[in-house]
Amino acid sequence: MEYRIGVREDTFDLQGILADRADDYKLNACFEMDDDGCLLHVPEEKRREVSVLLADVIMNGLPQNMVSKLIEKYCSSFNAYDRWRIEHMVLDSWQDMKENHGAGFARWSLRVTDEVEDYLLTSKEMMLDGFVRFRLKDWVRYWEQKVKRAAEELLIEREYMQFIRLLRIFVDTQEPKIDRVNITLDANGQYLLTDGQGEPIEDETLFEMEDELSRMQLGKADILLSSLITISPGKVHMDAHVARDAEVMETIRQVFQARLVIDQEP
C-alpha cells in the first residue's frame, strides 16, 4: 500500500522525521521523496501503525510552526523578545505534559490517531498542515487558547513588575520610620512584626490599614507588604520560617532589595 504525505512548510524535514519515527514503530516502510511529498510503501495491515506515526509527526513535529504562526496572528503588538517568550512558554508547557505522561497528552494522541486512521480509510494522500487545519479544528483551537493564555500571563507579569517598580521607587524615596523590623510567625501562623528590641510594633495608622485590608479580603502576603511599606523600615529582618514562603520572600526582596536580611535558623 502507498500513502503520499506532504507538508507545505518548506523548512520541515518531512522525510527525515518520518524515517526516524518509522523505526520507532517498526513499520519497515520504504520512503521516496518527490515534489509532491513523501511516498510511503507499507503493508496493507499497517494502517493503524501509519496512523500512529502520522499522529506522532503532527503532535511533535508541527506545533512549533503552528505556534509561530498563531503568535504572528494574535500577538503582533508584542515585541520580538516577548513573542519569543510566549512561544517558549507554550511549547515548554506542552513538552512538560508530554514528558510527564500527562492525561491531556494521552487524550490528544488517541484523538489525533483515530482521526488520521479514519481519513486514511478513504484517502491515500494527506497534506499534514491542511489535514490539521480542516480535520483537527479542536487541536488548532487548543493551541490558539494556549497562545492567548501565555500572552495574558505575560501581560499580567509585566503589570506586576511595573507595580513592584513603583513600590520600590516609593520605598527608596521615603525616610525610614524605624531602623529595623523583624518578621516572624506567631503560634497561629500569622505574621508578627517587631522592632529591633523584639517589641510588637504599635502604630495606629498601621492597625487601621491592616483592618481595612482584612475587610477587602486580601491575602496575608499583600497585607504584610502593605504594612512594611507603611512602616518604611531601614532594615527588614525575615525569619527563616517566613522565608520558606517563596512568594512572600520574593515579593519583599524585589521591593526592599538590599534592606532585606534573612535570619538563619539557629
pLDDT score, position 145: 97
Q: Which residues make up the CATH 3.30.420 domain(s) of the chain?
A: 175-263
| Mean predicted confidence (pLDDT) in 29-58 | 74
Print burial letters for 225-257: b (CB count within 10 Å at least 16), e (below 16).
Answer: bbbbbebbbebbbbbeebbebeebbebbbbbbe
pTM of the model: 0.74
Query: Residue for cell digits 493564555?
Result: 149
pLDDT in tens, 179-209: 999 988 877 777 888 888 888 876 555 555 5
The arrangement of secondary structure in 175-263, i.e. its CATH architecture, is 2-Layer Sandwich (3.30)
Closest CA to 86 of 71, 65, 103, 69: 71
Identify the three-state secondary structure at position 43: coil
pLDDT in tens, 217-262: 556 677 788 888 888 889 999 888 877 888 788 888 898 888 888 8
pLDDT in tens, 234-244: 999 988 887 78
- 75 vs 171: which has the higher pLDDT: 75
d(CA 128, CA 139): 13
